[in-house]
Amino acid sequence: MSDDDAVEALAERLRGASRVTVVTGAGVSAASGIPTFRGPGGLWRRHRPEELATAAAFARDPKLVWEWYAWRRGLVASAKPNRAHEVLAEWSRRFPRFRLITQNVDGLHERAGTSDVIRFHGSLWEVSCWEDCGRTPARWRDERAFEDLPPRVSSSAPGPRHPRPGRRRGVLPPRCDACGGWLRPGVVWFGEPIDPEVLEASREALDCDVCIAVGTSAVVYPAAGLVTTAGARGAFTAEVNPEATPASGAVDLAIAGPAEEVLGRVDRRL
């Protein structure tokens, strides 16, 4: 099937759909300048993300891991949503039941205007208590997490524009007000379970007419199994990714191309 035919085939399915679920990964934010984990730019100070995004890494070196998250918050704060985020935000208003499940922690879908995003892996913009002391909410937005943002971030940044005067970069994580333990990023690290409420919301979202995986390498479970589950329940399934993934052979339609371009082309045909 030609590229154009594939785009038309997906548009055709969407024209007849009311329940549409999209599962996104780091690839949707690539065009906004946010590196994926496995692509070029995924390394930070010679560390692989798999060595930093774990509880063991935080236990060993909380400062290193906190600095990496501060760096990522800085990148995202100065980035803007791209056409892929915008098209999905438009679809969230177009389809009677649209659900967006994202593995991304950057908040760019929300900034593009999609509400009720199911955040499978939490958020860069939240923290939780490392000691899990039970005297705080499970996750919350804490202004102290923004103090390490670089000074020049755009006015659309979700945090304050400048760090507090007198604060040095490269600081330790803040402390929990309730127990004095470290605060950790409010994200799901490799090896950690997904929040049961998030899993439940995702399972419900998989009862749909069309399910599309966009920009995910489909190797991190359980997120990787979402689209095939939707297919098993009767949904038409598609993938949008410039590279083939383990899911490519399992979906009804694999479209090879960048999300910001392919989603725009599909949208123009709706």
The site for Zn ion (CB under 5 A) is made up of 129, 131, 133, 176, 178-179, 181
Q: Report the residue number, 65 or 259, with the smaller CB distance to ligand NAD.
A: 259
Binds 251: which of ligand NAD, Zn ion, none (CB < 5-8 Å by kind): none
Smallest gap from Cβ 235 to ligand NAD, in A, equals 20
Smallest gap from Cβ 93 to ligand NAD, in A, equals 22
CA distance 22 to 213: 6
Q: Report the residue number, 120 or 182, with the smaller CB distance to ligand NAD.
A: 120
Q: Select which of 47, 85, 109, 121 is catalytic.
A: 121
Smallest gap from Cβ 154 to Zn ion, in A, equals 33
And the tokens for 41?
A: 């730019």
Q: Report the residue number, 195 or 252, with the smaller CB distance to Zn ion.
A: 195
Q: Report the residue number, 20 or 76, with the smaller CB distance to ligand NAD.
A: 76
SS3 label, residue 121 = coil
User: In this structure, which amino acid lies at residue 204?
Assistant: E
How many other β-carbons are positioned within 10 Å of the β-carbon of residue 88? 27
Binds 133: which of ligand NAD, Zn ion, none (CB < 5-8 Å by kind): Zn ion
Extract long-range pairs of 166-173: CB within 8 Å, 24+ residues apart. 169/70, 170/63, 170/67, 171/63, 171/66, 171/147, 172/62, 172/63, 172/66, 173/62, 173/63, 173/66, 173/130
Binds 26: which of Zn ion, ligand NAD, none (CB < 5-8 Å by kind): ligand NAD
Q: Report the residue number, 176 or 206, with the smaller CB distance to ligand NAD.
A: 206
State the residue for tokens 């390394």: 43
Binds 179: which of Zn ion, ligand NAD, none (CB < 5-8 Å by kind): Zn ion
Using left for φ > 0, alpha for ψ between -120 and 50, and beta otherwise, residue 256 falls in beta
Q: Is the distance from CB of 54 to CB of 61 less than 8 angstroms?
A: no
Q: Which residues bind ligand NAD (CB under 6 A)?
A: 25-27, 29-31, 34, 36-39, 103-106, 121, 215-217, 220, 241-243, 245, 258-260
Smallest gap from Cβ 207 to Zn ion, in A, equals 37
DSSP state of 211: E
Cα–Cα distances (Å) from 54 to 15, 154, 194, 197, 265, in that order, read: 42, 30, 14, 22, 38
Smallest gap from Cβ 242 to ligand NAD, in A, equals 5
Q: Report the residue number, 176 or 185, with the smaller CB distance to ligand NAD.
A: 185
Which residue in the shown chain puts its C-beta closest to ligand NAD? 27
Angle at 103 between CA 99 and CA 107, to 5 degrees: 80
The full DSSP string for 15-36 is HT-SEEEEEE-GGGGGGGT---
State the residue for tokens 């030609």: 2
Active site residue 121: yes
Binds 176: which of Zn ion, ligand NAD, none (CB < 5-8 Å by kind): Zn ion
Binds 220: which of ligand NAD, Zn ion, none (CB < 5-8 Å by kind): ligand NAD
Smallest gap from Cβ 196 to ligand NAD, in A, equals 18
Instruction: Just list the catalytic residues.
Output: 121
